Amino acid sequence: MKYKDIINKMTIEEKAMLCVGQDYWNSKGLERLGIPSIKMSDGPHGLRVQKTKADNLGINKSEVSTCFPSGATIANSWDKQLAYKMGKTIGEEAVREEVDIVLGPGVNIKRSPLCGRNFEYFSEDPYLSGKMGAFISKGIAKHGAFATIKHFCCNNQEKSRSDYDVVVSQRALREIYLKPFEIAVKEGKNVLIMTSYNSVNGFWSASNYDLTAKILRDEWGFDNIVMTDWWARCNAKQGEWGSTNRLDVMVRSQNDLYMVSPDVLVKSSSVLKGLENGTVTRAQLQLSCKRILEWILKTNTFKEYLKRGCKPKYPIVVNTDDMTMVAITNDFDISEACIKSINAGADLLLICHGYETEVDVINNIKDAVDKGIISIDRINESVYRILSLKYSYKINNEKIENIDVDIINSKIEDILNRLNKN
């Protein structure tokens, strides 16, 4: 499978959605086109994988993984092979946990003893930082995972890191702050880039054209994924306050992926609005989609996906909450809300009150299909997922005469015991 075969089948809306993360730790998948969601894990001193109740702060329970020494400790050894071995083990554990992207290492320069993440960064020396980052990424890549070099760039303090503008000369930028990233990009393997929260000379890093498009891509030849840090800001003009809803200027700067979003449709709509207003072009969006797809096709997840015949490991069905709740009915006609939900990707519509309402919704959905508001392919996708889910749980329409509750409870208890042991 080639990215060209996929991208030619994508709608503009799907291309925009591909540039937005699905949730805390996953990229957006496009099941219709056989594109799986790709899992990420925080780093860099060991994996932080949360299979249930995932959060961005690591408050909830994580899977067991090795805790490695800090970046400062590893750098103090001056041992590149030690860094490689550490990365190799992290990459091995990533494969075990079905993780493709390790969000680390951080190669920011230590400029102040007050920086709250100095323990994580390697050194005040750009050369040492770059070399350590490159060898850790080579180790992570040994088993097919991807390291993410961060935070690009000038993230050298933690206090108000989302609010400050770094005013820096071109010489200092090139010789000190960019140098470790340049080394890691040119000498590392399977490297992704994460931009920083701060602004650099008036432009927020996530939308900084000079940094990403001119230096990183044009000068250094980097052609892999660039992603934002979580909920990063972007701006269109120098000195303008950043917004989390300016993904059009993010894509324009050749930053490909916005992480993270509770609502993919809301974020992607800013790209669509940008296409209408001319703040981003279709060619720029196409380029980001190309890089994202090329990267996905290289992941272990996609290779396993192909082995399963491009079918999800488990059928994923999206259902709504009760569409008759006042939170919906105060602002929308129920049928209108249901049609919007289907087009947004929902499979099952929950309508809890009123048989007449259910019939009316069904008839309006049929009418929407007839008028082309909902495509028949979109309906078929949901039907396929629902039937697949039923099949996986051996659910059919055969009537069960007698239900033995004790047997059911016993099976549930066995499952819970196995989960607790694991």
Strand partners, 348: 319
Q: Would you say 323 and 350 are in contact if contact means Cβ atoms under 8 Å apart?
A: yes
Among the listed residues 42, 229, 248, 347, the single catalytic one is: 229
DSSP reduced 3-state for 194: strand
Q: Which segments of 39-157 does DSSP mark as H helices, in order?
A: 71-76, 80-96, 126-141
Check if 210 is active-site: no
Q: What is the DSSP string of 243-272?
A: BTT-HHHHHHTT--BB---S-HHHHHHHHH
Run of H or E including 341: helix 334-344
Task: Detail the DSSP E strand segments found in 79-204.
Answer: 101-103, 146-152, 165-166, 191-195, 199-200, 203-204
Question: Which token pair is 64?
Answer: 């067991």
Q: 395: buried, middle or exposed (CB in 10 Å: 19+, 13-18, 0-12)?
A: exposed
Q: Which amino acid is at 48?
A: R
Residue with tokens 């008036």: 202
What is d(CA 352, CA 328) in angstroms, rounded to the nearest whole number? 13
Enzyme catalytic residues: 229
